């Protein structure tokens, strides 16, 4: 059977939000899908794939996953970076999809088989105030989630991160940070007000929902090291599963100071794109969870390298899974989650129904766990006719400014 690559197509569609999907087809008509969505910079990856990688891939053997990964990584000369690594990830995941289909197995079987019955996932809850936050948490509990990320508006700060602006009390959480507009939306930020407000919020949530609920929180890279240390210390009584991205991602040494001051577990890495970004964090055991995504960290091949390295130091996975990770990317993450030994948790921010008109999935959710399903490959199909109804629309992530107008980390 020939496994030579016949075509490489870049598919851009916007069913409720923008997605870039790579479709690789072999000479025998076996199709593999990869997610190439880089939120707010989508067309850069589309061009990288269409203009630079597709011509290199046609005629190659689709079975050569590791060789192709190294060919694209080393062959570019310009290594790493989100655009390059997202493009490589899309190719890698599409080739794994093809290989698993040819083997007539769900992908997790090729990755070593299931290490667990399902992947624990966490959902998001948020509110403009405590009562609406409680409503949001109750919705998630009713849906069956056992782990919930808590975000709340900070008094005096306009449009806080993670909180749906203007949402009516009891409305279903549908926060989508990337807004379809020619310019970024501006949000506010005040670290001092945030540090004063947050411990009381977690105290209230613990008192209301008891000790068993797994609670997470995302700081979104906004604090200095000493502020992050103080936050972790102040949240210790409320037993968080983790605090996420407490400081800007570029400086790995910042977490050494945070670690010295607090036992609140630390997760980081949604903007990381290679194992090198984790080198010191893992070796010095400065973190507890690696939060890179299969889409932005070089695919199954790249992320598995990160997970295996982390496993040497008892550090667990916590894959990034917002709405800009397409159903293809989420399916790939779930196969890896099921197979690896050092699985921690998987983020799940459910896609809008329109997205599922384009992407037909076979993953399931039950009792707080997700399972990728047992279809051969990833278990995701792409509907071209549905996709054609949703033209690309420029969309940007917000930016954050302090009260005096200074740009801050969003
Ligand atoms: Mg995050």
CATH number 3.30.390.10 given to 5-106? yes
User: Can you give the C-alpha Rg of the chain in angstroms?
Assistant: 21
Q: Return the active site residues.
A: 161, 220
Residue 387 and residue 389: Cα distance in Å, rounded?
5
Residue 397 has pLDDT above 70, yes or no: yes
pLDDT reported for residue 1: 60
pLDDT reported for residue 334: 98
Question: In the chain, which residues fall in CATH 3.30.390.10?
Answer: 5-106
How many angstroms separate the alpha carbon of residue 244 from the centre of ligand 1?
6
- If residue 359 lies in a helix (H) or strand (E), which one and from where to where? strand 359-361
DSSP state letters, 143-166: HT-SEEEEEEPPTT-SS-TTS-TT
How many angstroms separate the alpha carbon of residue 17 from the centre of ligand 1?
18
pLDDT reported for residue 153: 95
pLDDT reported for residue 16: 95
Q: With contact defined as beta carbons under 8 Å apart, do 318 and 345 qualify?
A: yes
pLDDT reported for residue 170: 64
List pLDDT tens digits, range 116-128: 999 999 999 999 9
- Span 110-374 CATH architecture: Alpha-Beta Barrel (3.20)
What residues have their beta carbon closer than 5 A to ion ligand 1?
Answer: 218, 270
Bridge-based pairing of strands 380-382 and 359-361 is antiparallel
How many angstroms separate the alpha carbon of residue 290 from the centre of ligand 1?
12
Please enumerate in sequence order all residues whose Cβ is within 8 A of that of 269, keeping only pairs 6 or more positions apart, or say none.
245, 249, 277, 278, 290, 291, 292, 297, 320
CA dihedral 345, 347, 351, 355 (to 10 degrees): -80
Question: In the chain, which residues fall in CATH 3.20.20.120?
Answer: 110-374
List pLDDT tens digits, range 284-315: 999 999 999 999 999 999 999 999 999 999 99
pLDDT reported for residue 176: 85
Q: With contact defined as beta carbons under 8 Å apart, do 90 and 279 qualify?
A: no
- Can you give the pTM of this predicted structure? 0.97
Q: Using the structure block, give the residue that is written with the tokens 């997202």.
A: 86
Residue 251 and residue 272: Cα distance in Å, rounded?
12
Per the prediction, the chain carries an average pLDDT of: 96
How many angstroms separate the alpha carbon of residue 50 from the centre of ligand 1?
29
How many angstroms separate the alpha carbon of residue 133 from the centre of ligand 1?
18
Helices (H) and strands (E) in the chain, counts: 14, 18
Residue 118 and residue 400: Cα distance in Å, rounded?
37
- ∠ at Cα 397 (396, 402), nearest 5°? 125
């Amino acid at each position: 059977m020939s496994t030579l690559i016949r075509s490489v197509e870049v598919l851009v569609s916007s069913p409720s939000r923008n997605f870039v999907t790579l479709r690789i087809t072999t000479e025998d008509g076996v199709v593999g899908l990869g997610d190439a969505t880089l939120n707010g910079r989508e067309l850069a990856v589309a061009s990288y794939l269409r203009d630079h990688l597709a011509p290199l891939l046609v005629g190659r053997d689709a079975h050569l996953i590791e060789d192709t990964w190294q060919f694209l990584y080393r062959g570019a000369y310009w290594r790493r970076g989100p655009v390059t690594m997202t493009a490589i990830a899309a190719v890698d995941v599409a080739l794994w999809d093809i290989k698993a289909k040819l083997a007539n197995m769900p992908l997790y079987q090729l990755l070593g088989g299931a290490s667990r019955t399902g992947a624990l996932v966490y959902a998001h809850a948020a509110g403009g105030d405590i009562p609406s936050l409680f409503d949001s948490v109750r919705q998630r509990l009713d849906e069956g989630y056992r782990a919930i990320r808590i975000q709340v508006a900070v008094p005096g700060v306009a449009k806080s991160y993670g909180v749906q602006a203007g949402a009516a009390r009891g409305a279903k959480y549908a926060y989508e940070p990337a807004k379809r507009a020619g310019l970024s939306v501006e949000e506010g930020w005040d670290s001092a007000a945030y540090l004063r407000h947050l411990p009381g919020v977690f105290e209230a949530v613990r008192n209301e929902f008891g000790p068993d609920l797994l609670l997470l929180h995302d700081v979104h890279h906004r604090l200095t090291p000493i502020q992050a240390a103080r936050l972790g210390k102040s949240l210790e009584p409320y037993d968080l599963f983790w605090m996420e991205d407490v400081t800007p991602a570029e400086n790995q040494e910042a977490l050494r100071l945070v670690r010295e001051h607090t036992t609140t577990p630390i997760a980081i890495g949604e903007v990381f794109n290679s194992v090198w970004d984790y080198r010191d964090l893992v070796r010095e055991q400065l973190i507890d969870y690696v939060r890179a995504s299969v889409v932005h960290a070089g695919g199954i091949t790249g992320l598995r390298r990160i997970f295996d390295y982390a496993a040497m130091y008892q550090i667990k996975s916590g894959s990034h899974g917002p709405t800009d990770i397409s159903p293809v990317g989420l399916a790939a993450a779930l196969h890896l989650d099921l197979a690896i030994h050092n699985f921690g948790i998987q983020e799940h921010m459910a896609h809008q129904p329109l997205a599922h008109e384009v992407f037909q999935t076979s993953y399931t959710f039950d009792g707080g766990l997700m399972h990728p399903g047992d279809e051969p490959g990833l278990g995701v199909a792409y509907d071209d006719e549905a996709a054609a109804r949703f033209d690309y629309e420029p969309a940007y992530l917000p930016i954050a400014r302090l009260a005096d107008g200074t740009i801050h980390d969003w």
